[in-house]
A = this chain, B = another copy of it.
Amino acid sequence: MDVALHFKVQDLNARYVHAIDEDRLEQWPEFFAEDGRYRITTAENVERGLPLSLMSATSRAMMRDRVNSLRNANVYESQRYRHAVGTPLIEPGSDGVVRAVTNFLVARIMHTGETTLFATGRYEDRIAVAADTPHFLEKTVILDSRQIDTLLAIPL
């Protein structure tokens, strides 16, 4: 069990969720490799082997587009998220890449102040930990609930 390795992953997770929770969305793509993959799906889709995604990006460029449209279109109601992220379960791999599975709970705070438990689930990540700045090669957000909020707009 490698404490330093776990620590690196926890630190990456903490910086990732803080960037989102503090509405620094422009930083969000920077947590990924240039050709990094990001996808939101549901536990039900995963169990049924369905390749459906609620949100999907296969490069930083696509993620930047996503953020730009969020900022410009302004179609989503003013809201912020607050994440609680668990201790990651880590499987060391080869070539400085690890797999990590991490629980999350996300609260959503609307402009009115109304706070709800918005989303729960797990992250399944592939992380380049040997890089100068550890980052995600792939991040799959697997939601527990299949009840999709049509406001789902900000990355999780």
A residues with a Cβ closer than 8 A to B are 1, 3-4, 6-8, 10-11, 13-15, 17-18, 21-22, 43, 80, 82-89, 101, 103, 105, 107, 109, 112-117, 119-122, 144-147
Contacts and interface: CB of A to CB of B under 8 A. Distances in A.
Contact of A147 (B22, B113, B116): B113
Given A11-B87, A11-B89, A82-B120, 16 more contacts: A1-B4, A3-B4, A13-B87, A15-B89, A18-B103, A18-B122, A21-B103, A43-B80, A80-B144, A82-B103, A82-B121, A113-B145, A114-B145, A114-B147, A115-B119, A115-B120
Contacts of A80: 43, 144
A65 to B, nearest CB: 26
A23 B105 CA distance: 17
Closest 3 CB pairs of A and B: A113-B147, A14-B87, A82-B120
Interface centre among A14, A15, A22 (most CB of B within 10 A): A14
A85 to B, nearest CB: 6
Nearest to A14: B87
Contact of A103 (B3, B8, B84, B115): B84
A85 B103 CA distance: 9
5 contacts: A3-B7, A6-B11, A107-B144, A113-B145, A114-B147
A103 B101 CA distance: 20
Contacts of A10: 87
